[in-house]
Structure 1
Amino acid sequence: MTLVRLGELLVDVDELHRWRLVAEFLEEYRWEAVGSRRRLLDDEPAATGDEHWDVFLAALAEHLAARDGSAGPPWAEQRSLDRFWFPFNTRAARVDAVVHTPAAFRRRGVYVAPGELEVA
């Protein structure tokens, strides 16, 4: 699954299903050969209809590219939020996210703990 396809699937579904789709993408990404992973991130996903998720996809692209030793795709640079977003908005989740959010997410205003990105 590419990030473009993930973005398409995130349109008009509830939050629970969105996280399941993210988990599925991460699982497929993990099994892809490192040398071919970049092609899954390079093309810019269309808007999902939710700015939070549009920015999340940009952060995810940069985060995964960095883990594989490369820069994020150029399209991801322009996406960020004006207000912080905590996708998992409980007191404990917020504390964990404030302390441990990966840089690609933090600089865009998306606060998500790394464990939420390792669901697969």
Structure 2
Amino acid sequence: MAEFLEEYRWEPAEMRAGLLDQEPTTTGDERWDVFLAALTEHLAAKDGRGAPPWVEARSLRQFWFPFNTPAARVDAVVHAPAAFRRRGVYVSAQELNVA
């Protein structure tokens, strides 16, 4: 995922939408599938676009913290981007930054 995020940032804006349009195959873990939907919506919003239709069907019924330490949980509750919060995935925005 980190490699994709890094490459996405370097793509010209007009090429980025095409990288998000096609629904990825399942990871085999619903939580990570929902994470990918949230990430797609988050990236599209940052570029001023709407998310592709495939993301709408993905959300969790129980909250999930991919980085599950007490400090990470607090940070995620406070700073999770909207696309993640509305799907029940709590990850801090800083966790999405690639070094």
Q: If the TM-score is normalised by the length of the shorter chain, which range does it land in?
A: over 0.9
Q: Deviations over 1:46-79 (max 9, x none)?
A: 1110001100010010000000000111000010
Aligned position for 2:12: 33
Structure 1 residue 102 corresponds to structure 2 residue 74: no
Which of the numbers 27, 42, 65 marks the counterpart of 1:86?
A: 65
**Secondary structure at the residue paired with 1:41?**
helix
Letter in 1 for 2:58: R
Deviation of the 1:32 alpha carbon: 0.3
CA distance in 1, matches of 2:79, 2:98: 16
Structure 1 residue 74 corresponds to structure 2 residue 74: no
CA distance in 2, matches of 1:50, 1:39: 24
Q: Percent identity?
A: 74
Deviation of the 1:119 alpha carbon: 2.0
Aligned position for 1:56: 35
CA distance in 2, matches of 1:119, 1:93: 17
Task: Report the RMSD for the aligned CA atoms in angstroms.
Answer: 0.6
Question: Where do 5+ consecutive residues of structure 1 fail to align?
Answer: 1-21
Question: Where do 5+ consecutive residues of structure 2 fail to align?
Answer: none
**Runs of 4 or more consecutive aligned structure 1 residues displaced over 6 Å after TM superposition:** none
Q: Output the TM-score relative to the length of structure 1.
A: 0.81
User: Number of residues paired by the alignment?
Assistant: 99
Letter in 2 for 1:96: D
